[in-house]
């Protein structure tokens, strides 16, 4: 459930919020919401469900790349780039 909160921003903070909104291509309110969540994640760490999702993805990548020679893959990619 959403809840309305009123913030009073000084000029510097208001300008920063507008710049974020422009970068995110969203409203100032949405930019502030995103910034608060992102800052929380930096300070508190990822929530357990997001951490689990990342671990699952990493484990899946290990399975997908199992048996591949990374040096050979880099050589192949460089060779393809030279041919382009």
18-63 pLDDT, tens digit per residue, is 999 999 999 999 999 999 999 998 999 888 998 999 999 999 998 9
What does pTM read for this prediction? 0.58
Q: How far apart are CA 64 and CA 54, in angstroms?
A: 15
CB 31 within 8 A of CB 24: yes
| Contact between residue 24 and residue 38 where contact means Cβ atoms under 8 Å apart | no
The first and second tokens of residue 40, run together, are 């929380």
Count H helices and E strands in the chain, helices first. Answer: 4, 0
How far is the C-alpha of 81 from the C-alpha of 79, rounded, in Å?
A: 5
């Amino acid at each position: 459930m959403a809840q309305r909160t009123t913030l009073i921003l000084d000029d510097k903070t208001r300008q920063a919020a507008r710049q974020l909104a422009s970068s995110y291509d969203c409203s100032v309110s949405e930019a502030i919401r995103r910034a608060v969540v992102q800052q929380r994640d930096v300070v508190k760490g990822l929530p357990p469900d997001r951490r689990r999702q990342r671990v699952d993805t990493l484990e899946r990548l290990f399975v997908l790349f199992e048996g591949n020679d990374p040096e050979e893959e880099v050589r192949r990619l460089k060779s393809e780039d030279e041919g382009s």
